[in-house]
Amino acid sequence: QSALTQPASVSGSPGQSITISCTGTSSDVGIYNLVSWYQQHPGKAPKLLIYEVNKRPSGVSNRFSGSKSGNTASLTISGLQAEDEADYHCCSYATTNTLLFGGGTKLTVL
């Protein structure tokens, strides 16, 4: 099983919107609505941002949203803020009863 594919880095200016993609296959992202996204600041543990493709846990800003089309899931952050600068990881459940993570994307707020 290969890891999910994410861009290594993305950037945006404060106030702008950015989108991070997460591409899998028909054995994981494409077949299950079980994609989650995590935010990780340097030296910290990951934090859940999105689960089941597009649901936000209590306390997570509505500036974060998730979606999916075919084998690709996406995380959109609107109204970029300096505090959004972090690494973002996607994760999907897969047909082999396993979890797959992406390689992570570093977001730089210019």
Partner 1 sequence: EVQLVQSGAEGKKSGESLKISCKASGYTFTTYWIAWVRQMPGKGLEWMGSIYPGDSDTRSSPSFQGQVTISADKSISTAYVQWTSLKGSDTAMYYCARSSDSSGHEVDQWGQGTLVTVSS
Binding site for partner 1 (CB under 8 A): 1, 3, 6, 32, 34, 36, 38, 45-48, 51-52, 57, 89, 91, 93, 97-104
Closer CB to partner 1, residue 63 or residue 106? 106
Minimum distance of partner 1 from residue 103's CB (angstroms): 4
Closer CB to partner 1, residue 16 or residue 95? 95
Closer CB to partner 1, residue 37 or residue 77? 37
Minimum distance of partner 1 from residue 13's CB (angstroms): 25
C-alpha closest to that of 22 among 9, 34, 11, 7: 7
And the tokens for 77? 């952050």
Minimum distance of partner 1 from residue 21's CB (angstroms): 15
Distance CA 86, CA 51 (A): 18
Distance CA 105, CA 85 (A): 11
DSSP 73-110: EEEEE-S--GGG-EEEEEEEEETTTEEEEB--EEEEE-
Closer CB to partner 1, residue 17 or residue 98? 98
And the tokens for 32? 């299950």
Minimum distance of partner 1 from residue 40's CB (angstroms): 8
